[in-house]
Amino acid sequence: MSDDARGRRSPQPHGRRSSGRPSGDGSRAGQRGPTRTVQPARRVAYDVLRAVSETDAYANLVLPTAIAEARLGPQDAALATELTYGTLRRLGTYDAIIAAAADRSADSIDPAVLDALRLAVHQLLATRVASHAAVNESVNLVATAAGRGASSFANAVLRRITRDSGEAWQERIEEEARSDDERLALRSAHPVWVIRALRRALAAEGRGEELDALLEADNASPEVTLVALPGLAEPGEPHLPYAPTAFASPGGDPRRSVEASGGTVRVQDEGSQLVALALAGAAPIAEGERWLDLCAGPGGKTALLAAVAREHGVTLEANEVVPVRARLVRKALRAVPGEVVVHEEDGRELAAARPGEFDRILVDAPCTGLGALRRRPEARWRKSPADVAELVPLQVELLSAALEALAPGGIVAYVTCSPHLAETTGVVQEVLRGRSDIVELDARQAVADVAVSPIDLAEEGRSSSGSAQLWPHRHGTDAMFLALLQRTGTTNTSGKED
């Protein structure tokens, strides 16, 4: 649930110092010019880029609304989507190219101008869009946003970029890299710290050689995956390989399928489906069990658990501390008959006030979201190691509190959409340290048991852990992490009998 984490914009990579050119060159906004003609798809893409830059909006939330409001047809909607996500994925690389062409650091350029330049560079170097169209319309965007002087600056920068191929620009910026990791960062469009975190996570499985494949998968456009809520809808075609509830979108706008089903079919990554189903399948379900989704927003896993709970006579409660996200949870639950109480409390406090009450608890903890960079490419440029340091104590506290809310024999699923070791096995190890009343179950086996076909979950390097890690390059899912912890009836560290 990465959008609970506080985002920060990382410094732009490999920027050069300003050359001291006079104002009107894009270093600060001039007076806005008259609106000029821009193709609708490019206008939508630019507006979304501005929302991401100015308000830390998530493109996957803003773009569908922008497309609908602009009334784009299927072809233009597809173009707007490619321009938006393509630009965001390679932002760091494009900023390095812009800095080299402009002879100044990217962060010294007015943000409205910079977003137009980024959009243009993506079109020039990574699409088949005609160069003159990419340059002219991007210059028009700059003229409208920042004035004539800035548009002249943008025109000069883009004309300079068109003189060389994308390969030549890539070689040029990589020559300035100070290390192999910086060169890989420019080539793969991932910050250095993210590359190192992903490398460590793969090495922990004995799969370090898969790093290039993972970085490539992060930059690929993911297919839209749907979930059919059990007992309420049947999965369509084509079926996906692992989750029995998962199938690929038949094409077009997936909202049509969702609306036609009344919400019993939803958009949800297959990895998210697997971890929720693994919790439900980790032990036989007894009628009358009580389940809790402790960090429920925006409600996709909640709805899936609610559908399973309904089939087995289980009572489910949900909790989401952010009111707007709690409303999304309630909306997601409308399709499932029966009542699910949705609390709006700090999860740590709610769990502490309900000791020993629940048989299964999902802790889908706030995290950096490094496992969903395919779907939220801008997250890689917003996050920093400081976010990890800020989130880990919260993750530890949420998981610790959830364990106290378990009845004897109860199971907690600790889930993150991040493979970062500090947020995954590190949290589990910290919580289990010194406790004799909690045992870790084999999450890999739990996932394999619910999967409809064999699934490759690495075991090497995880001999002391039963956790499961999914990967975009290996499974076609987000990089979801799952650990299953069960409360026993033994004495805990305080000497109190459970």
List active site positions.
417
The C-alpha torsion from 128 through 132 and 137 to 140, rounded to 10°, is: 160
Contact 307, 336 (CB under 8 A): yes
Contact 452, 246 (CB under 8 A): no
CA distance 85 to 81: 6
Residue 83 makes CB contacts below 8 A (sequence gap 6+) with 41, 42, 45, 119, 122, 123, 127
CA distance 369 to 436: 31
Q: Identify the bridge partners of residue 96 per DSSP, sorted by sequence position.
A: none
Report phi then psi at 477, rounded to 5.
-115, 175
Residue 285 makes CB contacts below 8 A (sequence gap 6+) with 308, 312, 314
Cα separations in angstroms, 122 against 218, 222, 381: 17, 19, 17
Residue 277 makes CB contacts below 8 A (sequence gap 6+) with 243, 244, 245, 304, 308, 450
How many Cβ atoms sit within 10 Å of the Cβ of residue 433?
Answer: 8
How many Cβ atoms sit within 10 Å of the Cβ of residue 179?
Answer: 9
